[in-house]
Amino acid sequence: MTTLLTPEETARYDRDGYLSYNKPVFAPEKFARLQAIFEEDLTRFSEAELDMIHKRDERLLEFLLSDEVLDLVEPLTGGNIGLWASHLISKSPFTGKATPWHEDSAYWNGRVSTMAGICTVWLALDKATPENGSMGVIPGSHVNGFSEYEAVDAAANIFSSEVKAGTFDESKAVYFSLQPNECSLHEGRIIHGANANTSPMRRAGYTMRYFPLTSRVFQDNPRNAGHKIWLARGTDQAGNTFENA
């Protein structure tokens, strides 16, 4: 296994549920190509269509299935890796909505046999700081994954609900600061969110989501209708069906 993470970083991820990787992920020319694809797709597709964008723009598979990313993910998921999802995200200057505190696992419940081991790589396409709405995480909160939720103002937030206030310690939040081509990694059950972008700087990123192939995606679940998965590395252990098989 080629790994880009130290044993200490892997242990920290296992303990805290997240990691900041403040090194370039791709070579400069390759990252510039990804940025160009993003700018093109931002004008071609609606905001909703930017979710699972690799289904519409297969050029992105070069990056999603790349060794640069999979070598980051493998210590966290194991050597048999499936591509679960990807999403191009752009928060416009001054107008980008807040992302309420949530767990990805709460939205994926019932769609896969276990949430354990699902890993999201959040690659910064623009500089991401607390000032322009970078993501924050609650360290160690990935032990649950199914918190109690309450409604929030849908006009000011990307989602209409969030983890109920008082059920976690928001003062412990850690917000990422990433240069373009750096990334964060977080476990699918961790509580995370982002403030609105009130700055003059756009905040764009590409989320790349992976799962261990010891997990079964329930492709007969109606909520998975049309959802395609890719074999990213290794061999399947759970009877999944892949788009690139």
Asked if residue 240 has pLDDT above 80, the reply is: yes
Burial of 220 (0-12, 13-18, 19+ CB in 10 A): exposed
Residue 92 covered by a domain: yes
**Which structural domain range is residue 122 located in?**
7-233
Q: Which two tokens stand for residue 19?
A: 């990691």
Q: What pLDDT, in 10s, does the model give residues 121-177?
A: 999 999 999 999 999 999 999 998 999 999 999 889 999 999 999 999 999 999 999
Q: What pLDDT, in 10s, does the model give residues 33-81?
A: 999 999 999 999 999 999 999 999 999 999 999 999 999 999 999 999 9
Residue 238 covered by a domain: no
Asked if residue 2 has pLDDT above 80, the reply is: no
Residue 180 covered by a domain: yes
Dihedral of CA 16/7/66/204: which sign? positive
Residue 14 covered by a domain: yes
pLDDT of amino acid 96 = 75
User: pLDDT-based confidence at 1, cuts 50/70/90?
Assistant: low
pLDDT of amino acid 133 = 94
Identify the CATH number of the domain in which residue 53 sits: 2.60.120.620
Q: What pLDDT, in 10s, does the model give residues 88-112?
A: 999 999 977 899 999 999 999 999 9
- Nearest CA-CA partner of 156 in 90, 98, 94: 98
pLDDT of amino acid 88 = 97
- Nearest CA-CA partner of 122 in 59, 194, 58: 194
Residue 242 covered by a domain: no
Residue 54 covered by a domain: yes
Can you tell me which residue has the tokens 């700087």? 201
Q: Which two tokens stand for residue 129?
A: 């700081």
How many separate domains does the chain show? Answer: 1
Query: 19: how many CB neighbours lie within 10 A of its CB?
Result: 23
Residue 209 covered by a domain: yes
pLDDT of amino acid 245 = 78
Q: What is the pTM of this model?
A: 0.96
Residue 46 covered by a domain: yes
DSSP state of 139: T
Q: Which two tokens stand for residue 239?
A: 């009877």
Query: 134: how many CB neighbours lie within 10 A of its CB?
Result: 22
